Structure 1
Amino acid sequence: MSFYSIAKRFAVGPAVNTIFRPWVKGLDHIPSEGAAILASNHMSFSDSVFIPVAVPRQVRFLAKNDYWKGRGVAGVWNRWFFNITGQIPMDRSGGQASQISLAGGLEALSNGDLLGIYPEGTRSPDGRLYRGKLGVAQLALRAQVPVIPMALIGTDKVQPIDKNIPRVRRVGLIIGEPMTFESYYDNAGDRFAQRAVTDEVMSQIMRLSGQEYVDVYAATVKKQLEEARSAQGKGKRGK
């Protein structure tokens, strides 16, 4: 039995189920075997705990590579934990670096794994659903696997972006029907095809989650908010 299975069965799973009492709908949409992409909204750091607990099979996530770069005891712990649970480092800076990072996801899919991905690329800054990045489409089309849309409910109340300690709230997970994109396979490298697939996935996530959709990247909004806070801080110091 793997570390992942042991932790889920005897430690993390019982704790999460007892404390947060998560409810799940559509679990029958998860295939019992074979590769698939689990594409979810992303509102909390805790999202990557609730999904693996709910899904019977192991889920490998594309996680930001910052988790592998930490220093000290915390950095060593993070690297050990993410490696032993099978997570895949993802460079989210864009361009060639992100394309290289996707290779790890393709390898996981070629091995028949379930690959978890947050198409928004980062956590929502305000609970709304933001424009999806093309990575989910690139993986789905190149690996020719289904995408299963999912919606986490209430996890932003459990652990908001600025909070390290989770609050006790009940959360939910809604799993939609698998989406297949055979008609796009011959145009896997075409960005218009990738955008069409990504938008279809985001539309289904929106339908499941009930979130307001914003056709802007979440990272762009986060940057704007940071710049506004910085300017406000400089204004106060200047008085």
Structure 2
Amino acid sequence: MSRFLLIKASLGTLLRVLFRPRVEGAENIPGSGPVILAGNHLTFIDSVILPLVSKRQVFFIGKDEYVTGKGPKGRLMAWFFTGVGMIPVDRDGGRGGVAALMTGRRVLEEGHIFGIYPEGTRSPDGRLYRGRTGIARLALMTGAPVVPFAMIGTDEVQPDGKGLPRFGRGRRITVRFGESLDFSRYEGMDRDRYVLRAVTDEVMSEVMSLSGQEYVDMYATKAKAA
């Protein structure tokens, strides 16, 4: 049994017992071939929940600090995150965005699922913020379909992304997948900034419909800085 299947069998069962996650629209994820999963980002455990509720393994970018920790805790975190599909990338450097884009392209060209949060960071207040156009470039460069998704309730389970998740009545997680989006009509236009913005906005509109969040036409990083 692979490490991913082992983690999914053990933690997936624990997840179902503790949070009773509701998964809607899973049939919208193609059973094979490259797929981009694009959704909102409320809290840290989004990246734990998403791989565990997907039938196929989801690869995604994560901070390299998650796999460079020392001692038993650091080794356990590295074992877990790389096991569920996290690919560590130094996103703080000047070329972090390019490295993340090229990593996603490689994953998709190998026929896998690549998960991405177009907002680029966690929402500071539970609202949905403007998407960055890397999602559009990735879709147009690879021709992979985009399946939008919404994480609902994860910020109630783990407010502000800090500390251990909270358990109790009334706290339930929903992961909702929308219908696949095809952007093949824009083939060869991955350097047109107007097309990139239009594709990104279409994806974010679908995410908003799925999540029910209020939309803010501002980058989340700018909102956090303010």
Q: Secondary structure at the match of 1:187?
A: coil
Q: Give the TM-score of the pair, scaled to structure 1.
A: 0.87
Q: What are the Cα deviations for residues 192-237 of structure 1, in whole angstroms up to 9, with x where unaligned?
A: 221111111000000111100001111111122xxxxxxxxxxxxx
Q: Greater CA deviation, 95-104 or 165-174? A: 95-104
Structure 2 unaligned segments of length 5 or more: list them: none
Q: Which residue of 1 aligns with 2:192?
A: 190
Q: Which residue of 1 aligns with 2:180?
A: 178
Q: Is the 8 A contact 2:7 2:84 kept in 1?
A: no
Work out the CA distance in 2 between the residues paired with 1:132 and 1:93: 19
Within 5 Å, give how 1:107-118 maps onto structure 2: 107-118=106-117
Runs of 4+ in 1 over 4 A off after TM superposition: none
Within 5 Å, give how 1:90-129 maps onto structure 2: 90-93=89-92, 96-129=95-128
Q: What are the Cα deviations for residues 141-185 of structure 1, in whole angstroms up to 9, with x where unaligned?
A: 111100000011111100112531101221101110000101212
- Please tell me whether Structure 1 or Structure 2 has the larger radius of gyration of its CA atoms: 1
Work out the CA distance in 1 between the residues paired with 2:225 and 2:77: 26
Q: 1:130 to 1:61 in 2, by over 3 A?
A: same
Residue identity in the other structure for 2:221: A
The percentage of counterpart residues that share the same residue type is 49
Within 5 Å, give how 1:5-84 maps onto structure 2: 5-9=5-9, 11-84=10-83
Q: 1:14 to 1:90 in 2, by over 3 A?
A: same
Q: Which residue of 2 aligns with 1:218?
A: 220
Aligned residue pairs total 223
Q: 1:16 to 1:182 in 2, by over 3 A?
A: same
Work out the CA distance in 1 between the residues paired with 2:96 and 2:164: 32
Q: 1:102 to 1:89 in 2, by over 3 A?
A: farther
Question: How far did residue 86 of structure 1 move?
Answer: 2.8
Q: Which residue of 1 aligns with 2:140?
A: 141
Q: 1:110 to 1:173 in 2, by over 3 A?
A: same
Q: Is the 8 A contact 1:132 1:217 kept in 2?
A: yes
Question: How far did residue 6 of structure 1 move?
Answer: 1.2
Q: What are the Cα deviations for residues 72-125 of structure 1, in whole angstroms up to 9, with x where unaligned?
A: 544333333333333122444486331122211111111111111111111111
Q: Secondary structure at the match of 1:7?
A: helix
Q: Greater CA deviation, 159-168 or 77-86? A: 77-86
Q: 1:211 to 1:94 in 2, by over 3 A?
A: farther
Q: What are the Cα deviations for residues 54-87 of structure 1, in whole angstroms up to 9, with x where unaligned?
A: 2111111122333244445443333333333331
- The structure with more helix, counted as a fraction of residues: 1
Work out the CA distance in 1 between the residues paired with 2:88 and 2:184: 28
Q: Give the TM-score of the pair, scaled to structure 2.
A: 0.92
Work out the CA distance in 2 between the residues paired with 1:143 and 1:56: 22
Pairwise CA RMSD? 1.7
